[in-house]
Structure 1
Amino acid sequence: MLAGVELGGTKCICTLGTGPDDVRAQFEIPTTSSEQTLAAIAGVLDGWDFQSLGIASFGPLELDRRSAKFGSILSTPKPGWSGTDLTSIANGVPFAIDTDVNGAALAEGLWGAAQGLESWAYITIGTGVGVGSVSAGQILRGAGHSEAGHQRVPKLAGDLFAGCCRYHGDCVEGLASGPAIAARAGKEGRDIAPDDVAWTHVAHAIAMLCHNLVLTTLPQRILIGGGVAIGQPQLLTAVCHHLVNSLAGYHQTDGVENLIVLPGLGERAGPCGSLALASKAAK
């Protein structure tokens, strides 16, 4: 039996089970202060019997086990969470910790649309834009974890939108996240017509991100999830169109519709990501 905790900016989801088809219990906890939130999570976990724990969290995170800050949230715009040690909720149980998007990528490899592949990427488009990359079956790791959603990419000709990322302005997150879409269009994404030009800019920014991934981390498949992508199914077709034009024949793009797909787990990819990490810890 596995337990997983997905820590998000607005809510945290605690899950008990062995996978997406065997969820025994699930609780949702609002993300408030770090002290209150972690205490509530610990209270849920104390009532469960499980072998290992997976912690999938918003970041950035310190994931170097040699660091005294291992398992802690680094500098984050979320007030009161910088420096928070997330490993305390493990309470002595074997655990694995990673970013929420890396967890979702692992879950897609175990149970979703990346089964049988060696290398793939998972992009989530929501409050932010995050990328989880798996290469040769392992989460991409180096000097920290991937922050590919903050790549600077070319905008469409004539686009004067400055972007809304507090760090980089018009990086991918500053151009294609939920807040960026609302800032550009003057209304929330759910209220924007599917053929509105705002989606053209979003699709272009995500396609430029995919262009960079295709030529660097070499994914066999790119899964695009999150509330924005799942709520706007026409977006993937537009991303494929911009990607083919951008690559301009330099990379094989036959069957691009099989390269760019929705996650097989849909909205369950996030919570299942924490179980995937727990499975990793159990091994």
Structure 2
Amino acid sequence: MSALVAGVELGGTKCVCVLASGPDDIRDERRIETRSPAETLPAIAAVLAEWTDAQAIGLASFGPVDLDDRSPRYGQIVNTPKPGWDGADIVGLARATGLPFGFDTDVDGAALAEGRWGAAQGLGSFAYVTVGTGIGIGTVVRGQTVRGLGHSEAGHLRIPRLPGDDFAGVCPYHRDCVEGLASGPAIAARAGKPGEALSADDPAWTPVVAALAAMLHNLVLTAAPERILIGGGVFGGQPSLLPRLRSALVDSLAGYGAAPAIAAGIEDFLQAPALGHQAGPMGAIALGLDAL
């Protein structure tokens, strides 16, 4: 049996704490509403203090976060639009326990979980995309999540607009990046109602598919993933989006490079994650197991 890990997925609206060794061995789960750091972090610490049989800690956090362990801000949330959270010390939760710990973004953690237990098992290079309140991408190359000066923020790529599209975009930093054009709030702002209330043939989906296809095009040509998993709240409520996005990606790549191989196996190349809502919490567990 694998080691027991206390995992924490810190999200923008809620935090999920799990005591587990994997998706088939969950001993306890707690949910904490994400309020201010002064309210949220002590509540998480209290849960971790209860789990005395944990052998490691895994922390998968919303971002941006500082992942450079040489940096004085390592383990903190940085430059976030979420009020009050800039500078919040996330790894302090793990350091207080004295246990080995792993720390990464929530989408990177979810990607690692899909690689360990889900739809990317056996692959060395793949990407996990979630489209919801924001757009996050976790990219794994040769078994490691991509990081350098920062971590991957491909959801904020600038991409071409459809001709005649004058929608301003909702990203407070870039306006018309992918997140600004295709996230849940962007869809609601463009259509006047949330995505789950739109029909499958609503015209609001056309620019959303175009923006996501352009992002995936760039991801294919930069990270060269063997598979891309795409999910999140927007996709969960609109099953027709995935086939449309597959077709749009094939058209966008236009036969270049690996495009023929991708087109021949597009349903395998671009697919839904296998872990569903468990991907985030299991990402934290995967980070803790890797720390051991």
**TM superposition score normalised by structure 2:** 0.95
Q: Contact 1:222–1:261 (CA<8 Å) still a contact in 2?
A: yes
Within 5 Å, give how 1:129-168 maps onto structure 2: 129-168=135-174
Once residues 274 and 231 of structure 1 are traced to their aligned partners in structure 2, the CA distance between those partners, rounded to angstroms, is 25
The Cα of 1:149 is off from its aligned counterpart by 0.3
Q: Does 1:195 align with 2:201?
A: yes
2:277 aligned with 1:273, yes or no?
no
Distance (whole Å) between structure 1 residues aligned to residue 84 and residue 248 of structure 2 = 40
Which has the higher mean CA deviation after the structures are superposed, 11-20 or 245-254? 245-254
One-letter amino acid matched to 2:285? L
Alignment of 1:5-20 (within 5 A): 5-20=8-23
| 1:18-57 paired onto structure 2 within 5 Å | 18-48=21-51, 49-57=53-61
- Superposed displacement of residue 263, structure 1: 0.2
Give the aligned residue type for 1:112: G
Check if 1:64 corresponds to 2:68: yes
- Cα distance between partner residues in 2 of 1:201 and 1:266: 25
**What's the % identity of the aligned pairs?**
60
Partner of 1:245: helix, strand, or coil?
Answer: helix
The code of the aligned residue for 2:46 comes to G
CA-to-partner distance for each residue in 1:61-94, whole Å, 9 max, x for gaps? 1111111111001111111110011111112111
RMSD over aligned Cα, in angstroms? 0.9
Distance 2:132 2:101 in 1: 27
Per-residue deviation, 1:244: 1.0
Between 31-40 and 243-252, the greater mean CA deviation after superposition = 243-252
The answer to whether residue 253 in structure 2 is matched with residue 247 in structure 1 is yes
Q: In the alignment, is the contact (CA less than 8 A) between 1:230 and 1:266 conserved in 2?
A: no
1:36 & 1:256 partners in 2: Cα distance?
45
SS of the residue aligned with 2:280? helix
CA deviations on 1:212-255 (whole Å, 9 max, x unpaired) are 01111000000001111122111111111111111111122211
What letter matches 1:148 in structure 2? Answer: A
Structure 2 alignment gaps of length 5 or more: none
1:157 positional shift: 2.1
Q: What one-letter code is carried by the residue in structure 1 that aligns with 2:105? A: T
